[in-house]
Amino acid sequence: MRNYGNRRVLVTGGAGFIGSHLCERLLARGHEVLCVDNFFTGTRGNIQHLLDDPAFEVLRHDITFPLYVEVDEVYNLACPASPVHYQFDPVQTTKTSVMGAINMLGLAKRLRVRILQASTSEVYGDPEVHPQHEGYWGRVNPIGPRACYDEGKRCAETLFFDYHRQHGLRIKVARIFNTYGPRMHPDDGRVVSNFIVQALRNKDITVYGDGGQTRSFCYVDDLVDGLVRLMEETPDDFTGPVNLGNPQELTIRELAERIIELTGSRSRIVHRPLPADDPRQRRPDIRLAREALGWQPTTPVEEGLQATIQYFDRLLAACG
Ligand code: NAD
Ligand code: UDP
Ligand code: UDP
């Protein structure tokens, strides 16, 4: 990627799983980074290694409240992403997506700077179109337990496009599909972290439902590469939404089997009830990302899982 020059970049949710990798990447590219986080699901540990860098600054702040800072670019990632966390305080989840978007858009409007939204494949809900392309409007239950997240993110997209049309704001909307890698929260209930922690402890692997539902898992380094390309490499009139994810689709049962194999675990697979509104299948159509960003994931799933397993192995050893 060409060098984009030194910029002061705001990353909301910068102490979270994806945000911390993004902060790291932006610093490595020579930018200054202002990480804004309320530490709901993010941790100091995720950004500890960046704190000595004079180009890195952290601000504890909840983006549902206005924020006045001076920056050249905004990545809006703040929002809990795992069902366990976003359903803990669903009203706050919707506020974070909606009021957070309004505040960050207001900031980008005042400063006339580019702003990127971390949207999600959940805007497609439980899809009847497969694989999902950006033109598909989705099938979301507006009153179910996942709605605070899905509808919050859909409304945030609406706000981004209205600020673009009404105020000429330069927006970039990324629809991120399931992402995994080091610094996932061990207790956040997501499938990759759950299975790896269970496998490393030789505990039962909890497959919800029959395990025939599918997801497509993208390694975090690939995802961050896509986000930076979208922000830095696309012309002003390229707004997205653009899918960022790995088109390689796995059933949840296959994922469990691969993790057992890679960890050499003695764990058995057990079945638990499928949560309400759990999407049956999910795979991104990434033709647009390939064309507009020259992007596609390059990390094979075995390699990404190995790196993630090593991370959790060290984490569990440190926790005793
Ligand atoms: P995460 O929970 O690890 O990170 C979210 C961060 O936002 C945390 O550091 C949290 O403390 C912070 N935060 C939450 N509410 C906030 C608020 N009101 N004010 C300030 N900070 C707040 O999740 P993640 O997996 O890193 O996800 C990052 C973004 O990417 C989210 O917007 C998420 O919706 C999106 N996304 C993630 C995935 C995935 O598979 N991980 C998939 C699709 C979309
Ligand atoms: N805002 C902010 N930081 C800024 C500028 C605005 O947090 O640097 C907030 C502001 O509090 C407002 C929101 O963003 O509630 C939307 O701003 P906008 O200018 O679009 O709307 P208005 O201020 O006219 O309501
Ligand atoms: N899942 C599972 N066992 C677990 C955690 C999750 O079988 O211990 C399933 C879950 O029901 C879903 C898939 O794995 O079908 C992905 O779940 P996750 O919460 O990681 O992401 P999302 O549902 O938001 O895509």
Please write down the HEC assignment for all residues of the chain: CCCCCCCEEEEECCCCHHHHHHHHHHHHCCCEEEEEECCCCCCHHHHHHHCCCCCEEEEECCCCCCCCCCCCEEEECCCCCCHHHHCCCHHHHHHHHHHHHHHHHHHHHHHCCEEEEEEEHHHHECCCCCCECCCCCCECCCCCCCHHHHHHHHHHHHHHHHHHHHHCCCEEEEEECCEECCCCCCCCCCHHHHHHHHHHCCCCEEEECCCCCEEECEEHHHHHHHHHHHHHHCCCCCCCCEEECCCCEEEHHHHHHHHHHHHCCCCCEEEECCCCCCCCCCCECCHHHHHHHCCCCCCCHHHHHHHHHHHHHHHHHHHC
- Of 149, 163, 180, 219, catalytic: 149
Q: Which residues of the chain have pLDDT under 50?
A: 1-2
Nearest CA among 43, 53, 55, 54 for reference residue 14: 43
pLDDT tens string 243-292: 999 999 999 999 999 999 999 999 999 999 999 888 899 999 999 999 99
The interaxial angle of helices 191-200 and 252-263, nearest 10 deg, is: 30
- Report which bound ligand comes closest to the CA of 76: 1
Say which ligand is closest to the CA of 181. 1
In a domain, 223, yes or no: yes
Q: Residue 106: which CATH number?
A: 3.40.50.720
80 lines ligand 1 (CB under 6 A): yes
**Cβ 76 under 6 angstroms from ligand 1:** no
Looking at the domain assignment, is residue 193 inside a domain? no
- Tell me, yes or no, whether 290 lies in a domain: yes
Q: Is 103 in the pocket of ligand 1 (CB under 6 A)?
A: no
Say if ligand 3 is within 6 A of residue 293 CB.
no
Tell me, yes or no, whether 95 lies in a domain.
yes
The response to whether residue 83 sits with its C-beta less than 6 Å from ligand 3 reads yes
Residue 2: per-residue pLDDT: 43
The closest alpha carbon to 87, from 41, 138, 139, belongs to: 41
CA 55–ligand 2 middle distance (angstroms): 27
Rounded to whole angstroms, how far apart are CA atoms 279 and 216? 12
User: What is the Cα–Cα distance from 27 to 38, expressed in whole angstroms?
Assistant: 21
Q: Give me the domain span that covers residue 70.
A: 8-180+219-247+283-298
Burial class (CB in 10 A: 0-12, 13-18, 19+), 112: exposed
Residue 5: per-residue pLDDT: 65
The response to whether residue 208 sits with its C-beta less than 6 Å from ligand 3 reads: yes
190 CB near ligand 3 (under 6 Å)? yes
Which of 64, 104, 107 best tests ligand 2's pocket when mutated (most atoms within 8 Å of CB)?
A: 107
Residue nearest to atom 17 of ligand 2 (CA): 106
Residue 149 is a catalytic residue: yes
Number of domains observed in the structure of the chain: 1
Is 307 inside a domain boundary? no
| 234 is a domain residue | yes
- Which value does ipTM take for this structure? 0.97
Which residue's CA is the closest to the ligand 2 atom numbered 16? 106
**Ligand 2 nearest-atom number relative to CA 167:** 20
Ligand 2, from 64, 68, 110, 171: best to mutate by most atoms within 8 Å of Cβ? 110
The answer as to whether 91 is a domain residue is yes
Supply the residue whose CA is at minimum distance from atom 9 of ligand 2. Answer: 103
pLDDT score, position 4? 62
Domain presence at residue 88: yes
Pocket of ligand 2 (CB under 6 A): 66-68, 102-103, 106-107, 109-110
**Strand pairing report for 214-216 and 249-251:** antiparallel
